[in-house]
Amino acid sequence: MTALFELENVGMEFSVPHRSSFGPALRLAALRGVDLRVDAGEVLGLVGESGCGKSTLARIAVGLLAPSSGRRLWQGGPFPRDTRRGPALVQMVFQDAGAALNPRRPVGDQIGEAAMVRGLVTGAARAGFVSDWLTRVGLDPALAGHYPHMLSGGQRTRAVIARALAVQPRFLVCDEATAALDLSVQAQVLNLLAELRAELGLAYLFISHDLSTVRHVSERVAVMYLGRIVEQGAAAELFASPQHPYTQALLAATPSLQAGAATAAPLRGELPSPLDPPSGCAFHPRCPQAIERCRRESPAWRECGAGRLCACHLVQPEVDVIP
């Protein structure tokens, strides 16, 4: 089956000024050879430590950044050029809803503006269009005239969701969309996203540090470490039987309410600098299971169950999928 959205061998490098004004600029490899696919109507969760490249990947997915290498695909072909007319294909819900909204304009204007530009609604119908979207995301239409600072954090997040969906995308990238919200409000927003997905047939890329949330909302999960996907597969299977040592460490560190639950030992060291990534497997300096091969050879993708892939030399059987 052809995927709705794909990233194919995507890399992203940034130029970083040298500490010395006389030295050459340094190259920061934020993403390295990322392959990712999202099927129509699917929710793919993306997890990993801060600084591993999740937000960079999100911005490439929606076209805010152009990758240094690789490409975006839409339904198996080149990504269509956005002519700013008609429905958008991809939209994004940002982590900081307050920063994503223009503080100088009422939220209703911001929800309706892009739809007007794209010809999805006329001036005469704009007020009703905005009121309808505010209602669909659980907000009072009377809030259309309010400025962002007059709304609560949950209301701002709902307004950002309404603005993204008003241009009729088929794929929504949620970058830590609920991270700044209280737990009760998080649950409400997650339920809203589930309802809208069912109603509109949306696909989501759901990025979060909260593994329990990702487990709850996602059908498949991809685990990222230092700019690379190291494991991916069905959420239920990945959480029940993680194969990559990094995935195992992430899940072991998840807090548990179960009485007598063991406390996981923290990972050794910190995430290496993308300015000077380790040789071989990038995780080997912190991996308690690392062998000599891990230090000198980057692992290929290997099958680790039906629909499961893992980039680790220790995974058996050793069936190379991607060189």
pLDDT digits (tens, 9 = 90+) for 229-272: 999 999 999 999 999 999 999 888 776 666 555 555 567 777 88
Residue 7, token pair as written in the block: 């990233």
How many folded domains does the chain comprise? 1
User: What pLDDT was estimated at residue 323?
Assistant: 43
Residue at 288 is within a domain: no
Residue at 319 is within a domain: no
Per-residue pLDDT at 103 exceeds 80: yes
- Spell out the alpha helix ranges (H) of the chain: 54-61, 97-100, 107-117, 126-136, 153-165, 183-200, 211-217, 235-240, 245-252, 292-296
Residue 164, token pair as written in the block: 């993204």
Q: Which long-range contacts link 143-146 to residues 24+ away (Cβ below 8 Å)?
A: 143/107, 143/108, 144/106, 144/107, 144/108, 144/111, 145/106, 145/108, 146/106, 146/107
Residue at 219 is within a domain: yes
Better-scored residue on pLDDT, 319 or 301: 301
Q: Cα separation of 145 and 139, whole Å?
A: 12
Residue at 230 is within a domain: yes
Digit-coded pLDDT (tens) for 132-162 = 999 999 999 999 999 999 999 999 999 999 9
Residue at 78 is within a domain: yes
Segment 120-136 mean pLDDT: 94
Per-residue pLDDT at 304 exceeds 50: yes
Residue 199, token pair as written in the block: 């109603």
Give percent above pLDDT 90 in the chain: 69
Q: Cα separation of 159 and 299, whole Å?
A: 43
Segment 125-129 mean pLDDT: 95
Residue at 278 is within a domain: no
Read off the pLDDT band of 21 (50, 70, 90).
low
- Tell me what the pLDDT averaged over the chain comes to: 89
Q: For residues 191 and 203, is the Cβ–Cβ distance under 8 A?
A: no
Per-residue pLDDT at 283 exceeds 70: yes
Residue at 72 is within a domain: yes
Digit-coded pLDDT (tens) for 42-52 = 999 999 988 89
What residue numbers bound the domain in which 191 lies? 5-16+27-254
Read off the pLDDT band of 90 (50, 70, 90).
very high
Q: With residue 35 as reference, give the H or E element that holds it.
A: strand 26-38
Tell me the one-letter amino acid at 65: L
Indicate which CATH number applies to the domain containing 225.
3.40.50.300
Which region among 163-172, 284-293, 298-307, 309-318 has the lowest average model confidence (pLDDT)?
309-318
Residue at 190 is within a domain: yes
